[in-house]
Chains A and B, each alone.
Chain A
Amino acid sequence: MTAAPIVSLRGLAFAHPGDAAGRPVLAGLDLELPRGGFTAVVGPSGVGKSTLLRVIAGLARPAAGSVVLHTTPAADRRAVALVFQDARLLPWRRVAGNVAFGLEGLRLDAAARRARAAAALDLVGLAGQASRFPAQLSGGQRQRVGLARALAVRPDLLLMDEPFSALDAITRHLLQDELIRVWRESGASVLFVTHDLDEAAYLADRVLLLSGSPARVVRDMTVGLRRPRARAGLGETVAALRAALAETFSEGAGI
């Protein structure tokens, strides 16, 4: 846990450019994520969890402060990859084409792209679906394609924005287990946003509770449970998270 960080946030602040009042969503955020770790971010909806991901991904420009990625640039991989809540596949591309999308911005020839896309599909268990269109997939399969697309670029940091929240419970549990397996195989660091405390406790080494306006990290909890974890054994961790969340509400820090 004290290994070199994968990303450092220093004095990070963000306000939506469209907000005339300039009220910051995030302000004075200092944070380091450990390399190879699995960090979950929980917090009330609208607190700025997704915004945090978008700023780290470089999709939104911080108002102040910095995001420093401690990665070695390479032409055949991306430092950061994003998995969206709504899968966000290109409906005109077949599954293989969707997985290859991020590879098209890298220095890879067509054969290497195909091989990388096929390997990523294999990793998420969709090798047999390569030539189908997104509309022909279930919600869980679409999320797997979104995950494969992110894994294909071999990111150092995998940012996941409530990727399983729209799925039914059985599919969600299945994909959580697959994510853990894939995370361990890929060696990537994961920052996982969720509003589901059980999910955070089941998946993460560390849970950050984001609350307030502007949002700050009000709790930074280490989840010491051994892996593989049993869902039945999460009670204490979830209870602690719930208590922390309730406390921030009673402090009037968030909504």
Chain B
Amino acid sequence: MKRSRWASAAGLAAFLGVWETSVRVGLLPAAFVPAPSQVPAAFLSELRNGEWPAAVLASLTHYLAGVAAGSALGIAAGVAVALSPGFAASQAWVARLLRPIPPLAWIPFALIWFGPSQMAAGFIIGIGVFWLNYFAAEAAVRAIDPGLFELAAAFGQGGAWRRLTAVVLPAASPGILAGVRAGLGQGWMAVVAAELFGIPGIGQRMNEAAGLLATDILVLYMLTIALLYGITDFAFERVSRRLLVWTRA
């Protein structure tokens, strides 16, 4: 464990070292590629002028709202499809029609409906997250051992609500949480794409920086996205490990 951590750190250091040297010796054109050592200065200036906190806050806001809404609706729809043959049939062709449309294809409509707003970004993020959760939840519920439903019925827990809360959701929770986690990653991709179309946030700030060839600022925000993704994924993984402690028993 310790050894592999050292190897990882060494790999990262080597990557940054090669990058820095390539820019300094002119192997990479300094006008197009910033040296990594320029990034801290870019960070300080973006912090001082308030751009960085504002962009991060805006992005996080619609990211979290979009992921939360997309996950909740996707899980609800996926569970309903798996439990109700009638509902499954009624939405089968609608799902087949809408599913292949990539979330980014909804950007024009999102802008028409909601303007360049948090709502529009949340909508675009939510769509991609929705489908991931929909399919993960459906598969997880379908995989539940039917014997558990018989058990619930045998012990007076066969009502729809008790079945859902005491059997379906806990039994399907490993698959459902895997879907949520995949959605957390997918969500960040949609964040930046949506913001490139003028919705305030990290992507919009990157667009401005690109116009000025401020490549150090571009790299700063790319690293910011990586960091935010890392934090959300780590936090979620911690929570789900706790929830799924029984799968490792």
Listed in ascending order, the chain A residues whose CB lies under 8 Å from chain B are: 57-59, 78, 81-82, 84, 86, 88, 90-93, 101-102, 104-106, 132-136, 149, 153
Provide the B159-187 mask, 1 if CB < 8 A to any CB of A, else 0.
Answer: 00010001100110100000000000000
Choose from B155, B157, B170 the contact partner of A92 (Cβ within 8 Å).
B170
Give bound CA distance, A42 to B176, whole Å. Answer: 43
Q: Does B25 contact A (CB under 8 A)?
A: no
- The 16 sampled A-B contact pairs (Cβ below 8 Å) are A59-B150, A78-B155, A88-B147, A88-B148, A90-B148, A91-B247, A101-B166, A102-B156, A104-B157, A104-B162, A105-B155, A105-B156, A105-B162, A106-B156, A135-B249, A149-B155
Listed in ascending order, the chain B residues whose CB lies under 8 Å from chain A are: 147-148, 150-151, 153-157, 162, 166-167, 170-171, 173, 246-247, 249
Give bound CA distance, A134 to B151, whole Å. Answer: 15
Q: A84-B147, A91-B246, A133-B246 are in contact. Are A104 and B166 (CB under 8 A)?
A: yes
User: Nearest chain B CB to A4's CB is how many angstroms away?
Assistant: 25
Contact A105–B157 (Cβ < 8 Å): yes
Contact A102–B246 (Cβ < 8 Å): no
Choose from A59, A132, A153 the contact partner of B153 (Cβ within 8 Å).
A59
Contact B173–A88 (Cβ < 8 Å): no
User: Nearest chain B CB to A94's CB is how many angstroms away?
Assistant: 8
Tally inter-chain residue pairs, CB-CB below 8 A: 56
Q: Chain B residues with Cβ under 8 A from A104's Cβ?
A: 157, 162, 166
Majority secondary structure of chain A interface residues (helix, strand, loop or mixed): loop
Give bound CA distance, A88 to B149, whole Å. Answer: 10
Contact A101–B249 (Cβ < 8 Å): no
Majority secondary structure of chain B interface residues (helix, strand, loop or mixed): helix
Contact B154–A59 (Cβ < 8 Å): yes
User: Which residue of A58, A91, A92, A93 has the most chain B CB atoms within 10 A of its CB atom?
Assistant: A92
Give bound CA distance, A82 to B249, whole Å. Answer: 26
User: Nearest chain A CB to B206's CB is how many angstroms away?
Assistant: 43
B151 nearest in chain A by CB position: A88
Contact B171–A92 (Cβ < 8 Å): yes
Give bound CA distance, A231 to B117, whole Å. Answer: 80
Contact A135–B147 (Cβ < 8 Å): no
Contact A153–B151 (Cβ < 8 Å): no
User: Which residue of A105, A134, A135, A153 has the most chain B CB atoms within 10 A of its CB atom?
Assistant: A105
Contact A78–B246 (Cβ < 8 Å): no
Give bound CA distance, A168 to B151, whole Å. Answer: 24
Q: Chain B residues with Cβ under 8 A from A57's Cβ?
A: 154
Q: Chain A residues with Cβ under 8 A from B148's Cβ?
A: 88, 90
Choose from A93, A101, A132 the contact partner of B157 (Cβ within 8 Å).
A101
Contact A78–B150 (Cβ < 8 Å): no
B159 nearest in chain A by CB position: A105
Q: Chain B residues with Cβ under 8 A from A132's Cβ?
A: 249
A136 nearest in chain B by CB position: B249
Give bound CA distance, A100 to B155, whole Å. Answer: 10
User: Nearest chain B CB to A217's CB is how many angstroms away?
Assistant: 24
Q: Chain A residues with Cβ under 8 A from B246's Cβ?
A: 91-93, 133, 135
User: Nearest chain A CB to B143's CB is how many angstroms away?
Assistant: 13
Q: Chain A residues with Cβ under 8 A from B147's Cβ?
A: 84, 86, 88
User: Nearest chain B CB to A104's CB is how many angstroms away?
Assistant: 7
Give bound CA distance, A47 to B173, whole Å. Answer: 37
User: Nearest chain B CB to A142's CB is how many angstroms away?
Assistant: 13
The list of the 8 closest CB pairs from A to B, nearest first, reads A105-B156, A133-B249, A102-B155, A135-B249, A82-B154, A92-B246, A92-B170, A88-B151
Q: A88-B150, A90-B151, A105-B155 are in contact. List 20 more A-B contacts (CB 8 A).
A: A57-B154, A58-B153, A59-B150, A59-B154, A81-B154, A82-B154, A84-B147, A88-B147, A88-B151, A90-B148, A90-B170, A91-B246, A91-B249, A92-B170, A92-B171, A92-B246, A93-B170, A104-B162, A104-B166, A136-B249
User: Nearest chain A CB to B172's CB is how many angstroms away?
Assistant: 10
User: Nearest chain A CB to B124's CB is how many angstroms away?
Assistant: 35
User: Which residue of A84, A90, A153 has the most chain B CB atoms within 10 A of its CB atom?
Assistant: A90
